[in-house]
Amino acid sequence: MFRTALRNVLAHKARLLMTAFAVLLGVTFITGSLAYGDSQQQAAVDRAAAGYDRIDLSVAPDSDPANGSPLATLDDRTAAALAKIDGVRAAAGRVDGFAAVADRKGNLLGTGDFRKGGNFAPNAEGTDPAYQFGAGTGPTRKDEIALDEASATKAGYRVGDTVRVGTGQGAASYKITGTFRTDASKLSPGGSLTLFANATAQRLFLRPGKYTEIEITAADGTDALALADRVDAALPDHTSAITGAQLAQLKARLAASDSGTMSQIMTGFAAVALFVATFLISNTFTMLVSRRTRELALLRAVGATREQVRRILLTEAVLVGVLASVAGIVAGAGVTSLLQKLFATPAAPAAPVVLTPTTLIVSVLVGTVLPVIAAWLPIRRAMAIPPVAALGAAEQSAPEPANSLRTRISVALTVAGTATAAIAALTGSADARTVIGIGAGLAMIGAIGLIPVLSRPFVTLLRPLLLRVNPVHGDLAARNTVRDPRRTGATAAALAIALALASGLSVLGASATQYMERATKESFTADFVVNSPGGANRLTPATAEPLKKLPGVTYSPLNQSTQYQLGGTSSVLTGVDPATIGKLLKYDIVSGSLDSLARGQIAVADFKAEQTGWKVGQTLPLERNGKKGEVTVGAVYRADEQNDLMPSITAPDSLVARYDSAPSTNAILVSPEGGASARADVVRALGDNPALAVLDKDTIAAEDTSGIADQLNIFYALLSMALVIAALGIANTLAMSVLERGKEIGTLRAIGLDRVGVTRMIRLEALLVGLLGAAVGTVMGVFLGWAMGRTLQANVAGFELVLPWGRLALGIALAVTGALLASLWPARRAARVDIPAATAAQ
């Protein structure tokens, strides 16, 4: 049986290649999806753990479990005492914080939160082992800095240049004394690092004489663990020491946990790939077995049993699966490398491809087991045909009855799934999203099962248009498309799945983008918002003080203060200037008056009032860190819980200052006398500080929505691979169909249909299949986007569903274009059919 299976595989090379190609595509996408997630996770772990081999011990204060703040402080005296311990060669105090440096055009160096500042801590030899200087030396004066080599090269700075550096304490000009290299523990990929003199860094980032951490270098021959025990014994309370190896492991675990989301997303796309590939592989094997019905019947007629024939076919499936799996794994590694390059960023550069044993095992199992499963049903059907009947039939067709069991089950799944998702979306229950997901999944499975039944009316609907474009070729294409509805349905289903997910994401993405743009632009009436680049809160109430210099300016910082117990509820208060806030933020008052802020009262967002039962005029107990008092609710206003700019509780800044001496300023709202055209005046008043971003409404809206666009682009790129699989599935199906219909095509050529006509007929068939899959997929995707959007409407005020007609049309156009491109090779093969050979008696 094995020799017979091997001879059959090698005897039909075209059939072998097309069958293997179907398996290869599925394995490629699954391997690529899983390997990309593993590669990203391993790269994140490697980046997080890099550089800590340089550190023997790290001493740092313990953190308060309640709020994460340090429970102790480290100072010069602690560092000096640690340096005297037996086995310690050096103890370098470290300080770090945020520091922004702009290039000559004013663009910030580094990315997001990776704009760091630190201290140059020279040892007795005047060097700092954490930094290797390629030019110049480390800073020693208060007006000097050193800059990492990559940032200096990018900005065109050299030793001796004067640059402007911004920190949380303002901006100042510094002279560059040197450029350096360092490891990833100090400088993240894509970031920037500015070194200050030790005293300057302490003043800017902490307090004079204080350190965030002390790095200990052990003397030669000293064991780090043994040294850790001696250091621990000398440390003050709430302070601990950890070895560099242990610190690397800790950072690696945190990075692995943070990158787990990407692995889950990639696993989801791998599941989609498996689902899409199943249709492709099943369709290919169905056509393969159908084409070989007479061959199999002949084997049985000469004495082979059903079980022997079944073994031959299953052995062929395993052989093809193993070969295609190996090729698919290699191709999947290539796809992973391509994805790494496409999605690489300065903060997350392309990393080596990681193929874990799990990925390899899953890929091989999918590549071997799936073909066997896909071949089982068509084999079972073929074995049910009597040999005499199979030998006498030129072709075996399997039309899909309109009232078959499969059709009835598909209708039931579609109706039940649609109803479940719609009811959950309209009622907005707590677990609505889970219910919608289940309902949408059932509806999608049902719709896919109905595609064979839908193919006939769909083609009938388009047939008049085809006949108008080309009567002969259009009629032939329409007839060929509905000849085997199951085949057409399975081919279109893969395309429908990919387009359904893409369309659903488009609906959600467009709706979220419109909501965020409208919420951002309508929530405040100020001309500008001042905040910190990268989204971190590094402003203080004092940051806004220089704005007083501007004539006719209206401004108010949003001073956020946490850890309040207000009316027995954990709350966050945002302090504002009562005299100006009404001109800068749009408060839609439900009850009470915003003027109550000037009387020391608070204003509460409607969602917060609804959650707590607070009302205007109600006096509430207020407590923070042991300080107690009372406050009255003076107003309730409409607000969206998802809007970061609109506070949940607005309080006069005098009230916040009474309970919190150092609130975190989220942003500063500014309206200068010159309006939106006076941005330069605001920048100058704030000291031309690179650490401060002065943004207008359009820029803020663009920043708020850029994250959505970036995520959508990643998802689109991944789904486009599923679309490629679906398009290649069309090519595979058409190619198999051309082989199967060789005699028919030869007859058409013999009676006058030229090569151009044959090519046009095959392309029109591909067009019909592409349109069918695109239509079903778009409808399913819009429904899925609507259902998921409804759950957001229930919780997000002002969220409205938007149909992105342009994106939907683009998706359909890409699907149709992919189908037409997929038809090029099968059409060319059909046009080159040898007429005498094709029409010869079989």
pLDDT score at 190 = 83
Return the closest-CA partner of residue 276 out of 722, 819, 818.
722
DSSP-derived letter for residue 63 is: B
Comparing 8 with 411, which gets the higher pLDDT? 411
First to last CA, the chain: 26
Full DSSP string of 106-149 = SPBSS-GGGEEEEEE---TTS--TT-EEEEE----STTEEEEEH
For range 41-70, the mean pLDDT: 80
Q: Does the structure show a pLDDT above 50 at 841? A: no
Q: How confident is the model at residue 388 (pLDDT cuts 50, 70, 90)?
A: low
Q: How far apart are CA 13 and CA 754, in angstroms?
A: 28
pLDDT score at 394 = 46
pLDDT score at 796 = 66
Q: Does the structure show a pLDDT above 90 at 181? A: yes
Query: Residue 375: helix, strand or coil by DSSP?
Result: helix
Q: How far apart are CA 567 and CA 344, in angstroms?
A: 49
pLDDT score at 223 = 87
Q: How far apart are CA 290 and CA 227, in angstroms?
A: 75
Sequence letter at residue 797: A
Instruction: Give the percent of the chain with pLDDT over 90.
Output: 22
C-beta separation of 434 from 788 below 8 A: no
Contacts of range 830-835, beta carbons closer than 8 Å, 24 or more positions apart: 830/738, 830/745, 830/758, 830/759, 830/761, 830/762, 831/755, 831/756, 831/758, 831/759, 832/755, 833/738, 833/742, 833/745, 833/746, 833/749, 833/758, 834/746, 835/746, 835/749, 835/750
Q: Does the structure show a pLDDT above 90 at 31? A: no
Comparing 344 with 123, which gets the higher pLDDT? 123
Q: How far apart are CA 31 and CA 732, in angstroms?
A: 21
C-beta separation of 418 from 438 below 8 A: no
C-beta separation of 67 from 563 below 8 A: yes
For range 805-822, the mean pLDDT: 89
Widest distance between CA atoms in the chain: 103
pLDDT in tens, 223-251: 888 888 888 888 888 898 898 888 888 88
Q: How far apart are CA 323 and CA 327, in angstroms?
A: 7
Q: How far apart are CA 487 and CA 492, in angstroms?
A: 9
Q: How confident is the model at residue 396 (pLDDT cuts 50, 70, 90)?
A: very low
For range 82-104, the mean pLDDT: 89
pLDDT in tens, 197-213: 999 999 998 889 999 99
DSSP-derived letter for residue 102 is: B
Sequence letter at residue 746: G
Q: Does the structure show a pLDDT above 70 at 395? A: no
Lowest mean per-residue pLDDT among 9-23, 359-373, 623-637, 780-794: 9-23
For range 124-131, the mean pLDDT: 88
Return the closest-CA partner of residue 487 out of 838, 765, 273, 776.
765
Return the closest-CA partner of residue 768 out of 808, 804, 733.
733
Q: Does the structure show a pLDDT above 70 at 258? A: no
pTM of the model: 0.70
Cα dihedral value 467, 470, 476, 477, nearest 10 = -90
Show Cβ contacts of residue 41 under 8 Å, excluding neighbours closer than 6 positions. 256, 259, 260, 262, 263
Full DSSP string of 166-217 = EETTEEEEEEEEEEEE--TTTS-TT-EEEEEEHHHHHHHHS-TTEESEEEEE
Q: How confident is the model at residue 572 (pLDDT cuts 50, 70, 90)?
A: very high
Full DSSP string of 287-307 = HHHHHTHHHHHHHHHTT--HH
For range 564-588, the mean pLDDT: 92
Lowest mean per-residue pLDDT among 196-210, 300-314, 449-463, 520-534: 300-314
Q: How far apart are CA 33 and CA 40, in angstroms?
A: 11
In whole angstroms, what separates CA 209 from the centre of its chain?
Answer: 43
